Structure 1
Amino acid sequence: MKSVRQYKAGTADVLILEDVEIPAIQKGEVLIQGLYTSVNYADIKTRMGSKGQSTFPITLGLDIVGHVIESKSSAFQKGDYVFAFPNGGSYQQVVAAKETLTFKIPETIDPLQAAALPTVTILSEILLKQIGDVQKEDTIVVHSAAGGVGTMLVKLAKHYGVSNIIGTVGDLSKKDYVLSIGADDVFTYDSFVEGVKQHTNGKGAQVIFDSVAGEVTKASLECLANFGTLVQFGNSSGKAGVISTSDVHNSCRNIKGFSLGTTRKEAPARLAPVVERIIPLFEGGQLSVPIARVYDLEEVQEAHRLIESRKHQGKILIRLIKDEN
C-alpha cells in the first residue's frame, strides 16, 4: 500500500510517498481501508518537530474515514463504515485502529464530510459543552475562526443558539467567510480587545477559545469578563502565553486547558458520548464542515503548503484511493 513517510523534521519537502506493508492488527483492533484523511495544523507542528522529538520514520495524520476490511473486535465486522483515530498515522491507504477509537457512522453521511468531521467537530463539541460550559446568553470569542476548529466552534455555537459569537482572524480578507458560518462580528488579532468591549458594554466575553497563544492569550485576558473562562487548546503562534495569578484571582476568572490528543491516549472512553451527539447533526443535515480542497495522496506536500499559507477557509482533505469520487 501507499504511505506518506518522513525521515526527519523539516519543510513539506520531507514528506515522501512510499510502498509499505499493510499493518497487522491485534485483539481489540480493526483494519480499515481508507477513503479520505484530513490535514490538521497539528500535523504541521509534528512534521516540523515543534511537538517534541519523534522517532523516525513516522507517518502523519490524526483521523481517517473508510471501511473495515478485517476485525479482531466483537464491536466491528468487515464492511462497517467508520471513522477512526488510527495507530501510527493516517496518511496511508490502510490503517490499524483500536476499537475504542473507531466509530461506526451511517452510510448516508458523505465520505468527504465523514473525513472532515472527526478531529474538528469532536474537539469543538468538547470545548463548547464540557470545557467552556457555554450558555446561550454568553458572549464568546473564537480565535482563528477561519481555521478548521475555529470554523466548527462558530458553527456549533450558532447551532446551539449562543447569543453573541465573535471571531478573530489574521486579516480581514476572511471576515465575510467567518460571518457566513455564523459569527456576529469579526475582528483581527490587533483589534479584537476593543471590539469585544464594545459588544459587551465593557464587561468582556464569558468564554474565549484560544488556540493561538502568545500575545493573543495576553490580549484575551484584557477582554475576559469577571467569572469568565479562557479555554487554551493550542499554540499555533509557536509562542507560549504568559499568565499571572493576578489575572485570575480578584476577577474570579479561570483558565482551562484541553488536548484531544491526550484524551485519545489516556481517556478514549470520553469520546463515544460526544460522537453520539454529533453524528445525528451531520446525518440530519443540521451541520456540515466547509471543505477547502481535496488533494490526492501524492500531493500531500501541496496540502501542507496550503495549510501553512493560512489562505484556506475550511478543511483540507487527502484522497487515499484514486477511484473514490
Structure 2
Amino acid sequence: MRAVQITEFGGPEVLTQVELPSPTPEPGELLVEVSRAGVNFADTHQTENSYLTRTVLPVVPGGEVVGTTQDGRRVTGLTRGGGYAQFAIVPEVTAFDVPDSVDDLHALSMVAQGATAWLLLRRTAPMRRGETVVVHAAAGGVGTIAVQLARRWGAGRVIATASSEDKRRLALDLGADVALDSTTEDMAAALKDANDGRGVDVVLDMTGGPTTDASIEALGPFGRLAFYGMANRTEPTPVQLVRLMAKSRTVAGLWLQHAFRLPDRPVHRAVAELFELVAAGELRAVAGGDYALSEVRRAHEDLLARRTTGKLLLDPNR
C-alpha cells in the first residue's frame, strides 16, 4: 500500500512516501480502506518528536481517518498512528459509523476537532448561557466549530482571534461578534475592550506562550481557560496560584484521548450530536484543503505557516 513514513525527526522534509505492507487488525480493531486522512497540528509535533507522547521510529503518522471496513461499514475514527496510508487500523472503541448524510470532510472534522470543541465548552471549561467566550485560532479546525457551538449554545458574546483579515472575516461569518488580530500587542487589553471593559468568562486556547499569559490576565472572576494545544511551540509562563485565587480563575487542559476512558462516553455523545447538527444543516465544517498523499509535505508546510483555515484532508489514493 502507499503510505507516508518518518524515519528521522525534523520538519515537513522528513515525510516520505513509501510502499508498505497493509496492516493486520487484532481483535477489537478495524482495518479501514482510507478515503481521507485528517492532517492536524499534532501531526507536525509528531514529526519533531515534540508531542505529549514520544514517537518511536520508523512511524506512519496520521491520527484520524474515514473510509470503509472489510465488511462494508463506512466509519471514521482515531487511530494509534498510521493514518497517512491507503489502509489503517482503527480501534473499535474510537470508531464511529458515518451516516450517509455526512461527507468525508464533516466526518473527519467532527470526530476530532468537533468533539474537542464540544468537550471544551461542555466539560473542560463549561460555558453558561449569556457568557463571553473567546476562541483563539478561530479559523482553524477546532476554532471554526467552537465559534458555531458557542453561538448556538447561547453565548452572550463570542470573541474570535485570527491572524489575517480573511480569517477574521470567516470567524464573523460563522457567528463571532468580534474578530481581533491575533498579533495584537496587548491581547489582554484587547479582549477586555471587546467585552465592554469587563473580564471574559471562557477562553479556548491552542496557541500557548504570550497568548495564554494574556488570556489568563483577561479572565474575569470565575473565568475559565481551557488549553488544548501549543501551536507556537512556546510554553506559557508558569501559572502562579495566587493569580488564580485572586479572581477565582480556573486553568484546565484537554487531550481528547483521555475522554475515551470515561465511563459516560462523552466523545460518543458529542459525535452523535454533531453528526445530527451536520445532517440538519445547522453546523458546517470549513474545508481547508484536499491534498494528495504526494503533497503531504506541502500540507504540513501550509499548516505550520498559518496559510490554512478549517480542516485539512489527505487523499491516499492520489
Q: TM-score, normalised by structure 1?
A: 0.91
The residue number in structure 2 matching 1:107 is: 100
- Aligned counterparts of 1:31 and 1:183: Cα–Cα separation in 2: 40
Instruction: Choose which of 255, 264, 271 in structure 1 pairs with 2:267.
Output: 271
The residue number in structure 2 matching 1:286 is: 282
Alignment of 1:66-105 (within 5 A): 66-69=67-70, 78-105=71-98
The residue number in structure 2 matching 1:30 is: 30
- Give the 3-state SS of the residue equivalent to 2:217 in structure 1: coil
- Give the 3-state SS of the residue equivalent to 1:248 in structure 2: helix
Whether the 8 Å contact between 2:187 and 2:211 is mirrored in structure 1 is no
Deviations 1:260-304 (A, max 9, x none): 13434x448442122222111112121111102101111111111
Letter in 2 for 1:116: S
Whether the 8 Å contact between 1:30 and 1:97 is mirrored in structure 2 is yes
Letter in 2 for 1:58: V
The residue number in structure 2 matching 1:124 is: 117
Whether the 8 Å contact between 2:110 and 2:274 is mirrored in structure 1 is no
- Aligned counterparts of 1:107 and 1:318: Cα–Cα separation in 2: 21
The residue number in structure 1 matching 2:302 is: 306
Whether the 8 Å contact between 1:5 and 1:57 is mirrored in structure 2 is yes
Q: CA deviation at 1:148?
A: 1.3
Letter in 1 for 2:211: V
- Aligned counterparts of 2:151 and 2:203: Cα–Cα separation in 1: 15
Residue 132 of structure 2 corresponds to residue 136 of structure 1: no
- Aligned counterparts of 2:311 and 2:192: Cα–Cα separation in 1: 31
The residue number in structure 2 matching 1:8 is: 8
- Aligned counterparts of 2:213 and 2:105: Cα–Cα separation in 1: 37
Letter in 2 for 1:193: A
Whether the 8 Å contact between 1:87 and 1:95 is mirrored in structure 2 is no
Whether the 8 Å contact between 1:64 and 1:86 is mirrored in structure 2 is yes
- Aligned counterparts of 2:217 and 2:69: Cα–Cα separation in 1: 49
Moved over 3 A (4+): 261-264, 266-270
Deviations 1:197-229 (A, max 9, x none): 223333211101111111111111221010111
In structure 2, the gaps of 5 or more residues are none
- Aligned counterparts of 1:178 and 1:27: Cα–Cα separation in 2: 43
Q: CA deviation at 1:250?
A: 2.5
Aligned residues: 313
Whether the 8 Å contact between 1:116 and 1:317 is mirrored in structure 2 is no
The residue number in structure 2 matching 1:204 is: 199
Q: Alignment identity in percent?
A: 28
Whether the 8 Å contact between 1:61 and 1:89 is mirrored in structure 2 is yes
- Aligned counterparts of 2:142 and 2:34: Cα–Cα separation in 1: 22
Letter in 2 for 1:38: G
Whether the 8 Å contact between 1:168 and 1:192 is mirrored in structure 2 is no
- Aligned counterparts of 2:9 and 2:101: Cα–Cα separation in 1: 39
Q: CA deviation at 1:170?
A: 2.8
The residue number in structure 2 matching 1:72 is: none
- Aligned counterparts of 1:87 and 1:187: Cα–Cα separation in 2: 36
The residue number in structure 2 matching 1:64 is: 65
In structure 1, the gaps of 5 or more residues are 70-77
The residue number in structure 1 matching 2:219 is: 224
Whether the 8 Å contact between 1:116 and 1:291 is mirrored in structure 2 is no
Q: CA deviation at 1:236?
A: 1.2
Whether the 8 Å contact between 1:172 and 1:187 is mirrored in structure 2 is no
- Give the 3-state SS of the residue equivalent to 1:165 in structure 2: strand
The residue number in structure 2 matching 1:39 is: 39
- Aligned counterparts of 2:305 and 2:21: Cα–Cα separation in 1: 33
Whether the 8 Å contact between 1:67 and 1:82 is mirrored in structure 2 is yes
Letter in 2 for 1:174: K
- Aligned counterparts of 1:45 and 1:143: Cα–Cα separation in 2: 19
- Give the 3-state SS of the residue equivalent to 1:27 in structure 2: coil
Deviations 1:100-154 (A, max 9, x none): 0111111121123223332110100110111111122000111111111111111
Alignment of 1:111-190 (within 5 A): 111-189=104-182, 190=184
Residue 15 of structure 2 corresponds to residue 20 of structure 1: no
The residue number in structure 2 matching 1:234 is: 229
Q: TM-score, normalised by structure 2?
A: 0.93
Whether the 8 Å contact between 2:82 and 2:89 is mirrored in structure 1 is no
